[in-house]
Structure 1
Amino acid sequence: MADFFANYGSQMMRLIWEHLYISMIALGLGVIVAVPLGVALTRTSKLATVVIGLASILQTVPSLALLALMIPLFGIGQLPAIVALFIYSLLPILRNTYTGMRKVNPSLVDAARGMGMTEIQLIRKVELPQAAPVIMAGIRLSGTYVIAWAALASYIGAGGLGDFIFNGLNLYIPELIIGGTIPVTILALLVDFGLGMLEKKVTPRNQISG
């Protein structure tokens, strides 16, 4: 273990940073796009079926195939990896936002409308806070997915911990394989934990059990 860190420690830190960089940008873009879209779809149920269906289809495309499709469009490197990971991040966030908003207690919505709230106020002050736990569950799921899938981005020159994994496989160096897979797992757990803490912050107190 000490020898591994002596030989690869600085490289590992660089790869961890690259891995987090492409993952967090992709996840952030997914949140920016999917949450407002999910909210908008609650106002047009027929369109929601089509849009969520399309997102589901994109989710079924194999990871390596989607990364390969990005190369003719964006070349190699971090940009195509971020775009591919962004696409993969959409479905859980979009679906959970739509579901969470639809499950808000209708009596709360009616009461808010009775108080004269506009649609924007209703969404911001009532529906989004009430739907926050479901939305955050989707973001947490996407975060875990993106961290895991980012390892494949090494195939198109995006860097990240996948470099260790695939170099280890190609050269048959088990230490590199382990040195890539364990940090990916730890990063996924840390991201999930961090988003779980954020979920508690944004969840209304009357929804926090225990």
Structure 2
Amino acid sequence: MSYLFNNPDKVMPFFWEHLSLTFSALLIALCIALPLGFLIAKYKRLQAPVTSVLGIIYTIPSMALYAALIPYTGLGVTTATIGLVAYAQMILVRNVVAAIKGIDPMMIEAAKGMGMSKAQIIFKIEVPLAVPVIIAGIRVATVSIISIGTVAAWIGAGGLGRLIFQGLNHDHTGKIIAGTVTIAILAIGADLLFRVLEKILSPRTN
């Protein structure tokens, strides 16, 4: 721990790299998973093939996936981001589908009876009710991205994993501990942040 407290100027650049990689990958993953999840929830025949493909991707070891991508996208942040986005899809899409399917059909029928259009039902009924479950999926996906992102240092994408690899290469226990502890703090902080959002956005019952 002494390395972490005595060298914050050396640790923080790795921290910001890791944070940037995490949330850029998460943002891209959401742009794909949200519409895909809504589509699968509406067209049930798509659910089995899409989730099967995403499940296969999720089971591939991170180093193996990165190694497969390197010949096409090279070393660095691009390859790391593609890998992290791919891993996040299974978690995010599954939660989006669960969120939409968990909505009481009677509420949808009532909205139709009130004369709401499909767009109004989606944005005024389905989305608000689905948000808490979707946020739960985002929380899990974020923590997963933070942990898997550690391996991204292996392909030159930076982040806190680079601090750990430096420690391993130079037999520097202080760097290994500093990197591990900082990753844990980042993951716990992200988890707590999204838990708070879940509570704020969850429907309140009186």
TM-score interval (norm. to shorter): over 0.9
On the 8 A contact 2:76/2:156 being kept in 1, the answer is yes
Q: Structure 1 residues 195-204 or 52-61, which shifts more? A: 195-204
Q: Structure 1 residues 119-128 or 137-146, which shifts more? A: 119-128
2: CA distance, partners of 1:193 / 1:26: 19
On the 8 A contact 1:74/1:80 being kept in 2, the answer is yes
2: CA distance, partners of 1:10 / 1:155: 22
Q: Counterpart of 1:153?
A: 152
Give a deviation string over 1:177-202, Cα, whole Å, max 9, x none. Answer: 10100000110011111112222333
1: CA distance, partners of 2:3 / 2:168: 20
Q: What is the identity, as a one-letter code, of the residue corresponding to 1:138?
A: G
Give how far 1:133 is off. Answer: 2.1
Query: Which 5+ residue runs of structure 2 have no aligned equivalent?
Result: none
Q: Counterpart of 1:46?
A: 45
2: CA distance, partners of 1:55 / 1:123: 25
Q: What is the aligned residue count? A: 206
Q: What is the identity, as a one-letter code, of the residue corresponding to 2:192?
A: F
Give how far 1:9 is off. Answer: 2.0
Q: Counterpart of 1:119?
A: 118
1: CA distance, partners of 2:10 / 2:99: 42
Residue 11 in 1 paired to residue 42 in 2? no
1: CA distance, partners of 2:8 / 2:183: 15
2: CA distance, partners of 1:30 / 1:116: 34
Alignment of 1:1-210 (within 5 A): 1-2=1-2, 4-6=4-6, 8-206=7-205
Q: TM-score of the superposition, structure 2-length normalised?
A: 0.94
Q: TM-score of the superposition, structure 1-length normalised?
A: 0.93
Q: What is the identity, as a one-letter code, of the residue corresponding to 2:71?
A: P
Alpha carbons of 1:4 and 1:57: their partners in 2 closer, same or farther (altered >3 Å)? closer
Give how far 1:26 is off. Answer: 0.5
2: CA distance, partners of 1:50 / 1:86: 19
Give how far 1:5 is off. Answer: 3.8
Alpha carbons of 1:29 and 1:3: their partners in 2 closer, same or farther (altered >3 Å)? closer
Give how far 1:145 is off. Answer: 0.2
2: CA distance, partners of 1:43 / 1:3: 52
Give a deviation string over 1:100-144, Cα, whole Å, max 9, x none. Answer: 101111110110111111222111111122122221111110000
1: CA distance, partners of 2:132 / 2:109: 21
SS of the equivalent of 1:151 reads: helix
Flag as ranges the 4+ runs of structure 1 deviating above 6 A.
Answer: none
Paired-residue identity, %? 38
2: CA distance, partners of 1:121 / 1:152: 43
1: CA distance, partners of 2:117 / 2:24: 33
